[in-house]
């Protein structure tokens, strides 16, 4: 504890060192930073978040570790810039960083040169371009998403409890819809159920029993990438706990109070909701899409050649060690268990 409170002096790595820019302060960037010998590079970290968000706890609470806590304990100093990288120029080897935070100074944009660049910016929410999703649904990726969901959830409950509220409107307000039967959607639906039965039932005994949760999934079952056993367990546990699962159901549109869904027979239905949580997976960020578009063809070809040369060298090394390329075993991911 003493060492954590009293970090040692951090020398600057020196002007002769190459500049390594790391975009992001998430899982990828943080694990790189922890193992990196910062005395070998002039390291600059750029991220709109000045903390590491522990996503597995996001559905139940919000926790963040300031990134400076990690960088301050590195041997050599690391620069941290709170800002969003909006453009990567692969030719001039520079990045453009914008300060998009609430409080801005006179300078809000900077261009930073790099020798090496690590792009660890994660992904953004996938909406499949379905009309109304971006405007009306809540996502669950960032701290502010969790706060927004919490605010809307409690507002739905208080509005349902408002004097003289009509029965139809109470039913709509207390219908919580989660779209996406992957791990995030399943975990959130379960978390919501526990909150309603364990907490809400005490504070709002007249309301809690009227809350309905529906999980909507386009595929034939939830948790499609998990084992059959886990899928069956999840579906039967949800049934026991009266969490309604609509599989083979696609959301076609969303407005402020309804979602329109299409079932396996092509029949469309309008479902009223109070809270809509959207968890249908990820897509690449704009800065990454722009980078891919900006990479000159020649560079893409060179990357392909470079990758081929890496594999060739690898094969040669293995052969020199007496291992035939055909003996090389494919990489197998070992799962050490899930946190949530
Ligand atoms: C609710 C929830 C629960 C989860 N639970 C689990 C779990 O239990 N187990 C598990 O293994 N995985 C879990 N995951 C998935 C896990 O969080 C992701 O796989 C992981 O975060 C991906 O790491 P990353 O470093 O690629 O991106 P991220 O962790 O998303 O980090 C991206 C970083 O880049 C920054 N950034 C974004 N745009 C820019 C930009 N333009 N310029 C600079 N910086 C930028 C962001 O602010 C962030 O710091 C969960 C995810 C969610 C949403």
What is the fold, at CATH topology level, of the domain defined by 2-124+284-327?
A: FAD/NAD(P)-binding domain (3.50.50)
Residue nearest (by alpha carbon) to ligand 1 atom 13: 56
Q: Which helix (H) or strand (E) holds 53?
A: strand 51-53
* Ligand 1 atom closest to Cα of residue 123: 30
Compute, in angstroms, the gap from residue 126 CA to the centroid of ligand 1: 14
DSSP string, 171-219: HHHTEEEEE--SHHHHHHHHHHHHIIIIIIHHH-HHHHTT-EEEEE-SS
According to DSSP, the β-strands at 123-125 and 282-284 are antiparallel
User: What's the pLDDT at 62?
Assistant: 47
User: What's the pLDDT at 332?
Assistant: 66
CA angle 253, 256, 257 (to 5 degrees): 90
Compute, in angstroms, the gap from residue 248 CA to the centroid of ligand 1: 28
Residue nearest (by alpha carbon) to ligand 1 atom 26: 122
Q: Would 2-124+284-327 and 133-279 be classified into the same CATH topology?
A: yes
pLDDT tens for residues 206-218?
A: 899 999 999 999 9
pLDDT tens for residues 127-184?
A: 999 999 999 999 999 989 999 999 999 999 999 999 999 999 999 999 999 999 999 9
27, 124, 338, best to mutate for ligand 1 pocket (most atoms within 8 Å of CB): 27
What is the fold, at CATH topology level, of the domain defined by 133-279?
A: FAD/NAD(P)-binding domain (3.50.50)
46 CB near ligand 1 (under 6 Å)? yes
132 CB near ligand 1 (under 6 Å)? no
Q: What is the mean pLDDT of residues 260-287?
A: 97
48, 61, 110, 122, best to mutate for ligand 1 pocket (most atoms within 8 Å of CB): 122
Compute, in angstroms, the gap from residue 203 CA to the centroid of ligand 1: 34
ipTM, 2 decimals? 0.91
pLDDT tens for residues 292-336?
A: 888 877 666 777 777 677 777 766 776 677 766 556 566 666 766
Residue nearest (by alpha carbon) to ligand 1 atom 38: 121
Residue 172 CA to residue 161 CA, distance in Å, equals 12
Domain ranges, ordered by start, for the chain: 2-124+284-327, 133-279
28, 53, 55, 97, best to mutate for ligand 1 pocket (most atoms within 8 Å of CB): 55
User: What is the overall mean pLDDT for the chain?
Assistant: 89
Total Cβ atoms within 10 A of residue 285:
18
pLDDT tens for residues 98-126?
A: 999 999 999 999 999 999 999 999 999 99
Place of tokens 């039932």: 201
């Amino acid at each position: 504890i003493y060492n954590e409170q009293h970090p040692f002096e951090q020398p600057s790595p020196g002007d002769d060192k190459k500049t390594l820019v790391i975009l992001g302060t998430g899982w990828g960037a943080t694990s790189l930073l922890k193992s990196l010998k910062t005395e070998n590079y002039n390291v600059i970290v750029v991220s709109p978040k000045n903390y590491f968000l522990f996503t597995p706890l996001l559905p139940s609470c919000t926790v963040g570790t300031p990134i400076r806590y990690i960088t301050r304990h590195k041997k050599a100093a690391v620069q941290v810039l709170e800002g969003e990288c909006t453009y990567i120029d692969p030719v001039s080897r520079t990045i453009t960083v914008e300060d998009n935070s609430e409080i801005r100074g006179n300078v809000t944009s900077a261009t930073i040169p790099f020798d090496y660049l690590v792009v660890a910016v994660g992904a953004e929410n996938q909406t499949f371009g379905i009309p109304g999703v971006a405007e009306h649904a809540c996502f669950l990726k960032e701290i502010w998403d969790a706060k927004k969901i919490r605010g809307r959830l409690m507002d739905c409950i208080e509005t349902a409890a408002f004097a003289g509220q009509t029965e139809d409107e109470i039913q709509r307000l207390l219908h919580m819809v989660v779209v996406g039967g992957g791990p995030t959607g399943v975990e959130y639906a379960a978390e919501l159920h526990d909150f309603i039965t364990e907490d809400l039932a005490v504070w709002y005994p007249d309301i809690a029993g009227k809350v309905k949760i529906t999980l909507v999934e386009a595929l034939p079952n939830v948790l499609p990438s998990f084992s059959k056993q886990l899928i069956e367990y999840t579906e039967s546990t949800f049934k026991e706990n009266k969490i309604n699962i609509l599989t083979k159901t696609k959301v076609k549109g969303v407005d402020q109070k309804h979602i329109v869904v299409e079932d396996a027979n092509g029949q469309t239905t309008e479902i009223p909701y109070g809270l809509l949580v959207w968890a249908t997976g990820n897509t690449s960020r704009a800065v990454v899409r722009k980078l891919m578009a900006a990479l000159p063809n020649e560079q893409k070809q060179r990357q392909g050649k470079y990758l081929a040369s890496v594999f060739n060298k690898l094969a040669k090394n293995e052969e020199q060690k007496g291992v035939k390329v055909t003996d090389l075993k494919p990489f197998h991911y070992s799962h050490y268990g899930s946190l949530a």
